[in-house]
Structure 1
Amino acid sequence: MAAALLVVLGFTLLDIESGSGAGSNISTSILDDGSKTRLTCTLNSSDTAILGHRWMKGDRLLQEDSQPDLTTEYEVDPDARSGQYSCTFLSEPTGRTASVNVNGPPKIEAVTKSEVGIEGERVVLVCESQSFPPITEWAWYKVNDAGDQVLNNKSQNKFVVSSETRTELYIQDLDLKADPGKYACYGTNTEGKDRDIITLRLRSRLTALWPFLGVVTEVVVLVTIILVCEKCQKPDDVLGEEDTGSAPPKSSGHRTKDKDKRNAN
């Protein structure tokens, strides 16, 4: 317990940061308690009412409340411990913010665990990390039974673009035989190394056209049926018109019979 208090005191003395309010400071501390890590920010004073608190990791919102306290805490996710955190005391006209950096080995995450590409086209595989310290080295490998194959800007139809928080592997002119498989992205910082795996699946160009060809086939069949039905109905219509024209009017026949009867009388 005494050791934990010394750790808190040490971080508090080292991590005091000035807020945006005049005459106010935010002190920060990091306390490791077993598998848990608790971050604390304390505002020494405030001339305006505190409307709440906000915790961020990078540009991602972690927690927000509407409590008026001068102290706020956040418990770090142990699976993604390291990173650059910030606490903000919400007040008018502007809030006061302090940063809390938690050191640790990187946590690498693939943006998508599985990608589907089309033969002959391009695909981009992406991995990210919000760890602290930042990633100093990224590396890509094609995972093979015979041994992982290093991928870089000298690899055929592949090139890599990386920053501290993100790496992208571009694969152009996808080959249906050579390119499908598992790809590993590695990230290294001063605290350690981590990796994640992305599975790439490919479809042939013809496979991608099947839905379109199916629609075209249905339209052709429908038009053919309509044309056949119309062709079958036309002879009956013509025959009906000819029969109607050759038959004498019924009214004319009645008049002829009446005239013959009068002449006989």
Structure 2
Amino acid sequence: MAAAPAPFHVGALLLFLLGALASGVTGTSPDIKAYVTSGSGKLVLACNMTGQYLPTQGHEWMREGKVLQKDADTSAFTSYTIEGKMEEHSGVYECVYKTNPVIKAHLNISVAPKVTAYKKSEHGNEGDTGVLVCKSSSFPPVTSWIWYKHGQEPIINGSGRYIIKSSGNKTELRILKLNIEEDSGDYHCNATNAYGQGSATVNLRVRSRFAALWPFLGIVVEVLVLVTAIFIYEKRRNRDEVLDDGDGGSAPLKSNATNHKDKNVRQRNAN
């Protein structure tokens, strides 16, 4: 059993190695010393097996059942480097020695909750139920959630039209029978665990109960305008066709009269 190292600080983020546990092997008692170092925005997890131990054929680093890194190195020392925001990489890590049987140690990287809103902006119709959701993927899990509206006291579950459902790293606020004047605004979800607090903001916009009809009414108006335009066009076209037919009937009569006159003139000249 390895001793737990002391807490350390990375920027404004507090990280703490809770402990490292090594599984024993019958006949031999390997001792895995697990520790964490930080610097230059990086976090280095390391394991070193001391004492008598079986030959190893390599190492693996795992988190939540997923292999992050593996090698075929036979040394007693292995390390894994984490880059980026530490709160996004919190959790339980394992350094695994490929011996027979396998030997491993656990390292817990713990941070204050990093809270995110499922949607930063939610919309709801007046009279419907509004649903606001926040979550945190940080380790350890959130121990308590608190919802409150901007500038007001914390919301009590079951009070008024509010229902709060929280489970581990997720919380949900339901607002029954939304009211435009009372319920629109910013809502804050606050999470707490043993290492601190975190929060996120969700903006709720409540629309009139008739808001859903406006798109339909817009379509109806567009159809009416289109039908009217087609009707006017067809009416004008029909009128133009009637006028064209009238002109076509008189023109041949005039032409026949002219031809008959010309014929009579030619006959007189011949006589």
Of the three residues 150, 153, 168, the one matched with 2:155 is 150
Q: Does 1:108 align with 2:106?
A: no
SS of equivalent to 1:132: coil
SS at match of 1:167: strand
Assess if the C-alpha contact under 8 Å between 2:145 and 2:191 holds in 1: yes
1:242 positional shift: 2.5
CA distance in 2, matches of 1:259, 1:125: 100
What is the TM-score with the length of structure 1 in the denominator? 0.66
Find the aligned partners of 1:172 and 1:231 in 2 and give their Cα distance. 54
Q: Report the number of matched residues.
A: 242
Q: Does 1:174 align with 2:178?
A: yes
Specify which of 192, 204, 208 is matched with residue 204 of structure 1. 208
Q: What corresponds to 1:40 in structure 2?
A: 46
| Residues 244-253 or 176-185, more deviating | 244-253
User: What TM-score do the two structures reach when normalised by structure 2?
Assistant: 0.65
Cα offset, 1:237, TM superposition: 1.5
Q: CA deviation at 1:238?
A: 0.9
Which position in structure 1 is the counterpart of 2:82? 75
Matched to 2:248, the amino acid is T
Cα distance in 2 for partners of 1:99, 1:117 equals 46
Aligned position for 2:9: none
Distance (whole Å) between structure 2 residues aligned to residue 188 and residue 32 of structure 1: 26
Distance in 2 between residues matched to 1:16 and 1:251, nearest whole Å: 119
- Alpha-carbon deviation of 1:244? 2.0
Mind listing any 5+ residue stretches in structure 1 that lack a counterpart? none
Greater CA deviation, 169-178 or 111-120? 111-120
On the 8 A contact 1:116/1:200 being kept in 2, the answer is yes
Secondary structure of 1:178's counterpart equals: helix
Q: Which residue of 1 aligns with 2:11?
A: none
Paired AA for residue 156 in structure 2: L
The match for 2:93 is 86
Which residue identity lines up with residue 122 of structure 1 in the other structure? Answer: T
Secondary structure of the 2:5 match is helix
Match of 2:245 in 1: 241
CA positional deviation for 1:200: 1.6
Task: Give 5+ residue unaligned stretches, structure 2.
Answer: 7-16
Output the CA distance in 1 between the equivalents of 2:114 and 2:130: 24
Counterpart check, 1:29 vs 2:27:
no
Structure 2 Cα separation of the partners of residues 87 and 168 of structure 1: 32
Alignment partner, residue 133 of structure 2: 126
Letter in 2 for 1:132: F
Shift of 1:167: 0.9
The reply on whether 1:140 has 2:147 as its aligned counterpart is yes
SS class of match (2:180): coil
Say whether the 8 Å CA contact 2:117–2:134 is kept in structure 1.
yes
Residues 65-117 of structure 1 deviation map (CA, whole Å, 9 limit, x = unaligned): 6765572313365662784233577x9xxxx9865322343333323333233
Partner of 2:222: 218
SS class of match (1:229):
helix
Give the AA of the match of 2:159.
Answer: S
Conserved in 1, the CA contact under 8 Å of 2:61 and 2:70? Answer: no
Q: Residue type matched to 1:31 in 2?
A: V
Contact 1:32 1:38 in 2 (8 A): yes
Paired letter, 2:22: I
Give the superposed CA RMSD: 4.5
Q: Deviations over 1:164-216 (max 9, x none)?
A: 11111122332111111222222233344433322222222444444443343
Q: Which residue of 2 aligns with 1:160?
A: 164
User: How far apart, CA to CA, are the structure 1 residues paired with 2:33 and 2:201?
Assistant: 36
Asked if the contact 1:105–1:192 (Cα under 8 Å) also holds between the matched residues in 2, the reply is yes
| Structure 2 CA distance for aligned equivalents of residues 150 and 163 of structure 1 | 17
Identity of aligned residues (%): 33
Structure 1 counterpart of 2:5, which letter?
V
Letter in 2 for 1:176: I
Contact 2:133 2:171 in 1 (8 A): yes
